[in-house]
């Protein structure tokens, strides 16, 4: 068979044939939004356009855009194919500019199954693999059938964990296609196309196959034309739910924020000004603010709705989202740092927002939702969230230590705090600024009113820094910084005693080294530690 | 306000002593040619500005316009005094398992980069740097916050350091 004789032995698969229909809409909507935004500048001209038969032209343009959009998506779909080997995921995309991406599974940082609203309605899902290559490095497989996506996720996680494929090679899956298998490589590729969607085989497919240098083996297809996941499938790892966020608390917590307070103040001021000046002009300044707040509240609630976290042998499982549902899997040891934060308005109910740094989850506004470990946690849940990442904090009394970290001041539970003379540079927070070194992690707390606690496992320390400005030098203080991967957490302790800070830097470098040496393997199911290091 | 609990007896470090002395490492300073290179850049930027403002003041004859070249001269003198000190403060040290880079006089900074955490190393040399026979080495970890760049290394030293870092990084390679 051509698939087995090739050196690379890649079994190429395609996305679900409905993909172009889902993606094409995006193009149409984008054009509509941009066009509408441009046109809205001049409403009168827009009205003129709609007089007489103008609307026919508009409709025609829309239809043309739709045709182009769907045609483009269709072409893009035909050019997109992926393959999974024991070591990597290969993804080939692009119509004019071809891209062949290969993501090594041992570098896998997280696997997400994302279902936008439309895809959810038709039972499709996008599978996203995050590798630590900066923004845009994710491998996105969109769209697959939901069951296929889940099976593929289980397979990828199992392979990334270092498990072996259950004996049988993917060859049996190809068996039902004896006719095409006998033909040469190029012919195989073209023969594969009609089997998938009934399209007339185009020249482009040949070019791709030739450019790939690898045969495109036809995946066995069902009557519906969907690709089938190879027979030797992995069982999905069992999971155990640890917490769930009630929607009531989420809504309450989201509204109970500084933004709402600011808006209420603004409304009061605006009404007052309106009464005094006897005009309603101020209302127009309020509208954008109101919209801004509403969209903020909506996005927070939308992203955090039905937030559930679970543990599994494959790591942390997070599920959330109202319209767009996301199921994230972060394997063990992939969380680089964790932050628990509490704003002014969350102090009374004692709620905490828990965020994490995972290499690959970038911090650009759109992806903020990926880095949330708990949108609004009670004290107990915050502790649980911390436990999810770090099963052993490395202290004798974790509850007391976490309490001291969350709300404590001064040196309780062994925190090294800023000395009293630091009040000259930080009159409010100096008693909170502190750092605690446990056997497993570095715990950093700060903020008197806006409380924050950062926890960095020793083995996840990237590099360390020490800074001292002129005033700090006069006072004999220095700030200590831990560099972590990009994300919401940026741990640092300001204004420690200079000698303490230097000692901490020196010891932390040593601790990070020993922790790395004894840390679990990158492939988390492999038993011998340090095999990958 | 209560008294300090954790460090009650620690004396403030007397002003003037080096913050990083307790680490007890031998710092390797960078080449003083870096100062020359930086001063040259300053001259290239400020020179035409000075000539321009002098010409403007002379041609228009407005008295207060002479303050512009005066400011530029002052700036030049300030930079001329500052840069050599800055360059002297820039140093690095190779320890068994990590690289230390320090910089700054007024605002002192130290970065410790474990070799095993290095993702890649950049060696760069612009035309002016090549003219002065210097190159810069920058270490990159998975964190963009790691600002470990050593400017002003002689090219052989830069190449040696790069190879050394690469080999040590490989020996201590870890994931993320």
A84-141 pLDDT, tens digit each = 988 889 999 888 888 888 888 888 899 999 999 989 999 999 999 988 766 667 888 9
B100/B80 same-domain check: no
Number of domains in chain B: 2
In A278-334, at which residue ranges do the beta strands (DSSP E only) sit? 308-312, 315-320, 325-330
B95/B80 same-domain check: no
B48-59 pLDDT, tens digit each = 999 999 999 999
Tell whether the model's pLDDT for residue B93 goes beyond 80.
Answer: yes
DSSP assigned state of A199: P
A178-200 pLDDT, tens digit each = 333 333 333 333 333 333 333 33
DSSP assigned state of A197: H
Tell me whether residue B20 is in a domain: no
A344-390 pLDDT, tens digit each = 999 999 999 999 999 888 766 555 678 899 999 999 999 999 999 99
Q: Could you give phi then psi for residue A150, rounded to 5 degrees?
A: -70, -40
B123/B80 same-domain check: no
B81/B98 same-domain check: no
Interface probe for B, chosen from A463, A480, A499 (most Cβ of B below 10 Å), is: A463
B95/B162 same-domain check: yes
CA distance B103 to chain A (A): 10
- Per CB-CB distance under 8 Å, the chain B contacts of A474 are 15
Tell me if A533 and B173 make a contact (CB, 8 A cut-off).
yes
B54/B72 same-domain check: yes
- CATH number of the CATH domain containing B131: 2.30.29
Chain B residue whose CA is closest to A357: B143
Tell me if A500 and B1 make a contact (CB, 8 A cut-off).
no
Reported as a pLDDT band with limits 50, 70 and 90, residue B10 is: very low
Tell me whether residue B38 is in a domain: yes
Tell me if A483 and B116 make a contact (CB, 8 A cut-off).
no
What pLDDT sits at residue A39?
A: 67
Tell me if A466 and B19 make a contact (CB, 8 A cut-off).
yes
Counted across chains A and B, CB pairs separated by less than 8 A come out at 142
Say if strands B120-124 and A434-437 run parallel, antiparallel, or are unpaired: unpaired
Question: What's the pTM?
Answer: 0.79
B103/B154 same-domain check: yes
Reported as a pLDDT band with limits 50, 70 and 90, residue A311 is: very high
Residue recorded with tokens 């000698």: A499
B160/B97 same-domain check: yes
Reported as a pLDDT band with limits 50, 70 and 90, residue B13 is: very low
B71/B96 same-domain check: no
Give the closest residue to B80 by CA, choosing from B30, B31, B46. B46
B75/B141 same-domain check: no
Reported ipTM: 0.81
Average pLDDT rounded to a whole number, residues B5-18 = 44
Tell whether the model's pLDDT for residue A12 goes beyond 80.
Answer: yes
The span from the CA of A243 to the CA of A399, in Å, is 18
Which residues share a beta bridge with A228?
none
Q: Contact at 8 Å (CB) between A160 and A105? A: yes
A134-167 pLDDT, tens digit each = 666 788 898 999 999 999 999 999 988 888 776 5
The domain segmentation of chain A, as residue ranges, is 2-212, 246-304, 332-518
Tell me whether residue B79 is in a domain: yes
- For A509, the closest of B1, B114, B145 (CB atoms) is B114
Q: Contact at 8 Å (CB) between B98 and B115? A: yes
DSSP labels, A99-150: EEEEEEGGGEEEEEEEE-HHHHHTTEEEEEEEESSSTT--EEEEEEEHHHHH
Cα A78 off chain centre by: 27
- Per CB-CB distance under 8 Å, the chain A contacts of B12 are 421, 475-476, 498
| Structural domain boundaries enclosing B48 | 33-85
Q: Which two tokens stand for residue A227?
A: 């690709």
Helix (H, G, I), strand (E, B) or coil at B79: helix
Tell whether the model's pLDDT for residue A61 goes beyond 90.
Answer: no
Reported as a pLDDT band with limits 50, 70 and 90, residue A527 is: low
- Per CB-CB distance under 8 Å, the chain B contacts of A130 are none
Taking a contact as any Cβ pair under 8 Å apart, which residues of chain B between 116 and 175 contact chain A?
116-117, 141-148, 173-175
């Amino acid at each position: 068979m051509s698939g087995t004789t090739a050196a690379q032995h890649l079994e190429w698969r395609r996305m679900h044939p409905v993909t172009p229909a889902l993606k094409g809409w995006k193009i149409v909507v984008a054009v509509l939004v941009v066009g509408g935004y441009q046109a809205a500048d001049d409403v009168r001209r827009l009205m003129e356009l709609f007089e007489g038969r103008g609307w026919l032209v508009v409709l025609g343009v829309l239809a043309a855009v739709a045709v182009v959009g769907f045609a483009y998506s269709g072409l893009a779909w035909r050019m997109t194919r992926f393959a999974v080997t024991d070591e990597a995921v290969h993804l080939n995309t692009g119509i004019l500019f071809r891209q062949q991406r290969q993501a090594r599974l041992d570098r896998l940082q997280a696997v997400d199954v994302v279902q936008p609203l439309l895809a959810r309605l038709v039972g499709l899902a996008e599978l996203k693999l995050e590798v630590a290559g900066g923004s845009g490095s994710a491998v996105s497989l969109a769209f697959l059938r939901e069951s296929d996506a889940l099976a593929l996720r289980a397979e990828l996680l199992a392979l990334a964990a270092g498990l072996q494929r259950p004996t049988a090679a993917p060859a049996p899956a190809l068996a039902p296609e004896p006719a095409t298998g006998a033909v040469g490589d190029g012919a195989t590729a073209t023969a594969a196309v009609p089997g998938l969607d009934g399209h007339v085989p185009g020249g482009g497919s040949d070019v791709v196959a030739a450019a790939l240098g690898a045969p495109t083996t036809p995946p066995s297809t069902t009557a519906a034309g969907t690709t089938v996941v190879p027979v030797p499938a992995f069982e999905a790892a069992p999971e155990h739910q640890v917490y769930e966020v009630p929607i009531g608390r989420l809504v309450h917590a989201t509204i109970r924020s500084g933004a709402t307070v600011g808006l209420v103040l603004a409304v009061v001021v605006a009404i007052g000004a309106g009464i005094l000046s006897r005009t309603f002009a101020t209302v127009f300044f309020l509208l954008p603010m109101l919209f801004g707040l509403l969209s903020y509240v909506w996005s927070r609630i939308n992203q955090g709705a039905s937030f559930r976290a679970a543990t599994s042998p494959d790591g942390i499982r997070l599920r959330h989202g109202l319209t767009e549902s996301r199921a994230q899997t972060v394997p063990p040891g992939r969380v680089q740092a964790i932050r628990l934060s509490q704003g002014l308005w969350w102090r009374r109910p004692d709620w905490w927002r828990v965020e994490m740094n995972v290499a690959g989850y970038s911090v650009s506004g759109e992806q903020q939702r990926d880095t949330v470990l708990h949108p609004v946690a009670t004290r107990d849940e915050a502790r649980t969230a911390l436990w999810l990442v770090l099963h052993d904090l490395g202290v004798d009394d974790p509850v007391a230590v976490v309490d001291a970290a969350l709300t404590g001041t001064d040196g309780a539970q062994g925190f090294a705090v800023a000395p009293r003379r630091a009040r000259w540079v930080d009159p409010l927070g100096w008693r909170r600024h502190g750092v605690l070194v446990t056997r497993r992690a570095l715990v950093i707390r700060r903020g008197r009113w806006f409380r924050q606690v950062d926890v960095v496992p020793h083995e996840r320390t990237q590099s360390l820094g020490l800074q001292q400005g002129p005033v700090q030098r006069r006072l004999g203080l220095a700030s200590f910084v831990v560099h972590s991967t990009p994300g919401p957490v940026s741990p640092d302790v300001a204004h420690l005693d200079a000698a303490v800070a230097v000692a901490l830097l020196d010891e932390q470098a040593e601790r990070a080294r020993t922790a790395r040496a004894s840390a679990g393997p990158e492939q988390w199911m492999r038993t011998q530690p340090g095999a990958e290091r | 306000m209560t008294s300090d609990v954790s460090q009650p007896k620690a004396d403030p470090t007397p002003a003037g002593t080096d913050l990083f002395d307790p680490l007890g490492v031998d710092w390797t300073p960078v080449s003083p040619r870096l100062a020359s290179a930086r001063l040259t850049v300053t001259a290239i930027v400020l020179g035409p500005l000075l000539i321009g403002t002098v010409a403007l003041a002379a041609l228009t004859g407005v008295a207060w316009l002479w303050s512009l070249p005066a400011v530029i001269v002052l700036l030049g003198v300030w930079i001329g005094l500052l840069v050599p000190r800055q360059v002297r403060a820039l140093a690095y040290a190779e320890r068994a398992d990590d690289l230390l880079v320090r910089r700054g006089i007024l605002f002192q900074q130290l970065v410790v980069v474990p070799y095993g955490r290095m993702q890649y190393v950049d060696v760069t040399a612009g035309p002016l740097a090549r003219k002065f026979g210097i190159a810069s080495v920058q270490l990159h970890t998975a964190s963009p916050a790691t600002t470990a760049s050593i400017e002003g290394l002689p090219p052989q030293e830069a190449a040696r350091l790069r190879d050394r870092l690469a080999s040590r990084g490989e020996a201590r390679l870890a994931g993320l």
